[in-house]
Structure 1
Amino acid sequence: MNKELSKHLLSLSRKESNSRKRIRLLAVSFFYAGENRTNIAKRLNIARASVNKWVTNYLAEGIAGLDNKVIRGRPSRLSPKQQEQLSQYIKDSVASREGGRLTGEDITSYILSEFQVQYHPDHIYRLLKKLGFSWITSRSKHPKHSQEAQAAFKKFQLETILHTPGHLPLERIDVWFQDEARFGQQNPTTHIWAPTGSRPRVVKQQQFEYGYLFGAICPANGKTEALISPFVNKDAMMQHLRQISNATEAGRHAVVIIDGAGWHTYDTAAELKNVTLVKLPPYSPELNPIEQVWSWLRQHCLSNRVFAGYEEIVDEVSKAWNHFISVPERLKKMCNREWIKLT
């Protein structure tokens, strides 16, 4: 019997945050206080064998003997080499230009054919998580896109120097992303919360009225400019660029990144002394983060909706845009890209 040691262990148990280790400390504390192991087991509502084990571990290893043991689980049914091969197979599928996607069933079949190991479908997803894979939303790319052209475009500092007035230092240049999206009565349907097992129906209109949202964002300072038009043409584009020009502070210059749409011509900015247009490489919409803004607007505000006509489309698209830009940090986080930093 060692009352001082018992008090010390009791004090440690009161400070211990892990409930399992706290019980072990209490059991050993009671043991050194002079209680027999049967009474300790009854008092703590545990098995007497557990008390024996904990006392033995403490005598052999001290406090460390009462720590939680690492639960390693069953070893993987695939060897490290097989896991590496499976990971490469999945990565190759992601990078394939043929499109499509792997399902759990596809991966189960591959493992069986390559390694003669049968996995239950429920266990495949645990294996994928262990290998570092997640079920995540993909981003689109055009089948004809050129990785070399995109890599060259991302040397954006040189691209900017070549296109903007030579007397301007880079720290006085604001980079904007610009694009247009069509919103109207044939909006897509998206996921909704509904009772498990149900097949909910949502209204999808068949009419054909649309409005076009011209949007521009500057991730560095959080500024935005938008214009809603019943059509897309050079006149509407020039009006939108004038908005960007007016939003650019005196002494600064706006570099506006645009795609290759037919109304995106360099002459639309000819009259604007503080705006320069820079075109994306062909087939490279993924380089323009405003594409993610359109997805956000559709997903959060404009899908599964019914619009009476053009006027209501304008109202609701305006509300959706204002809702998005009401949180500047969201805009900056979603649209910022490392390669547009000029200084």
Structure 2
Amino acid sequence: MAALDAWLVFEDEAGFSMTPPTTRIWSRRGHTPVIRVRGRSRRRLSVAALACYKSGEPSRLIYRPCPDARPDGRKSFSWKDYRDLIQTAHQQLGGPIVLVWDNLNTHLTAGMRRYIADRDWLTVFQLPPYAPDLNPVEGIWSVLRRTTTANRAFADPDDLITAVRRGLRQLQYRPGVLDGCLTGTRLRRQPP
């Protein structure tokens, strides 16, 4: 990457539902906390995120949410959504990108392959199948689920979207956490 003066960018997507993940909490002995939820909702929020690293630059996080209530009825990202996200990253980062992502079928479509081939500033590598431990964005999802969305009953889908965006925005201002997610993959040595 240093020879190319390129950003190393990892991509991953995750889904968040109205039913919150539960984590440990403290309470008085014999008084188990109870969160009442009005009803189960099948509403989900999909989010794609890019963790961006470059020597001498602070780590960056770029993300895009995709609520399941879209005009075309699609509940997940299309290849055009990924194209737009990569284009946004290129504009924000201002340099060539080496993109590392999984083997999601949307990443492998003919339209996406054409888009990648037509961009001399974009180089793409596929992660091996079933290798989430090599993707630092998985660590970002873990942090988000343990902090922002943990033990929280969402009032409606807009509340879920607001909470996830707030959590991701907070992570954008904490490059040390993003560096820690990369260090957790053991792809980069931790600084002395």
Tell me, what secondary structure is at the counterpart of 1:281?
Answer: coil
Pair 269,316 (structure 1): closer, same or farther in 2 beyond 3 Å: farther
Tell me, what secondary structure is at the counterpart of 1:178?
Answer: strand
Quick one: which of 57, 65, 83 aligns to 1:228? 65
The aligned residue for residue 25 of structure 2 is: 192
The aligned residue for residue 91 of structure 2 is: 246
Quick one: which of 106, 119, 140 aligns to 1:272? 119
- Return the TM-score normalized by structure 1: 0.46
Quick one: which of 128, 132, 154 aligns to 1:307? 154
Deviation at 1:292, TM superposition (A): 1.1
Contact 1:255 1:277 in 2 (8 A): yes
Residues in 2 aligned to 1:188 and 1:261: alpha-carbon distance in whole angstroms: 24
Residues in 2 aligned to 1:211 and 1:273: alpha-carbon distance in whole angstroms: 33
Misfit runs of 4+, over 6 Å: none
The amino acid of 2:91's aligned partner reads N
The amino acid of 2:44's aligned partner reads Y
Deviation at 1:308, TM superposition (A): 3.3
Larger Rg: 1
Query: Mind listing any 5+ residue stretches in structure 1 that lack a counterpart?
Result: 1-159, 161-168
Tell me, what secondary structure is at the counterpart of 1:241?
Answer: helix
Residues in 2 aligned to 1:271 and 1:283: alpha-carbon distance in whole angstroms: 29
Contact 1:184 1:307 in 2 (8 A): no
The amino acid of 2:66's aligned partner reads S
Quick one: which of 102, 107, 120 aligns to 1:259? 102
The aligned residue for residue 143 of structure 2 is: 296
The aligned residue for residue 163 of structure 1 is: none
Residues in 1 aligned to 2:82 and 2:164: alpha-carbon distance in whole angstroms: 18
Deviation at 1:248, TM superposition (A): 2.6
- Return the TM-score normalized by structure 2: 0.78
Q: Higher relative contact order at CA 8 Å, sep ≥6: structure 1 or structure 2?
A: 2
Q: Which moved more, 1:277-286 or 1:263-272?
A: 263-272
The structure in which a higher percent of residues are helix is 1
The structure in which a higher percent of residues are strand is 2
Cα deviation 1:189-225 (Å, max 9, x = unaligned): 1111211344322345510111111111123431221
Deviation at 1:309, TM superposition (A): 3.0
Contact 1:177 1:216 in 2 (8 A): yes
Quick one: which of 208, 213, 219 aligns to 2:47? 213
Contact 2:17 2:42 in 1 (8 A): yes
The amino acid of 2:80's aligned partner reads D
The aligned residue for residue 10 of structure 2 is: 177
Deviation at 1:305, TM superposition (A): 1.9
Contact 2:4 2:96 in 1 (8 A): no
Residues in 2 aligned to 1:245 and 1:291: alpha-carbon distance in whole angstroms: 22
Residues in 2 aligned to 1:340 and 1:327: alpha-carbon distance in whole angstroms: 18
The amino acid of 1:263's aligned partner reads T
The aligned residue for residue 339 of structure 1 is: 187
Residues in 1 aligned to 2:119 and 2:19: alpha-carbon distance in whole angstroms: 36
Q: After the TM superposition, which residues 1-343 of structure 1 pair with which residues of structure 2 at under 5 Å, given as runs?
A: 170=3, 172-203=5-36, 206-220=40-54, 221=57, 222-230=59-67, 231-249=76-94, 252-265=95-108, 266-267=112-113, 268-336=115-183, 339=187
CA RMSD of aligned residues (A): 2.3
The aligned residue for residue 68 of structure 1 is: none
Deviation at 1:332, TM superposition (A): 1.4
Tell me, what secondary structure is at the counterpart of 1:244?
Answer: helix
Contact 1:176 1:256 in 2 (8 A): yes
Deviation at 1:289, TM superposition (A): 1.5
Residues in 2 aligned to 1:331 and 1:226: alpha-carbon distance in whole angstroms: 13
Cα deviation 1:316-342 (Å, max 9, x = unaligned): 11101011222212221232455368x
Tell me, what secondary structure is at the counterpart of 2:97?
Answer: strand
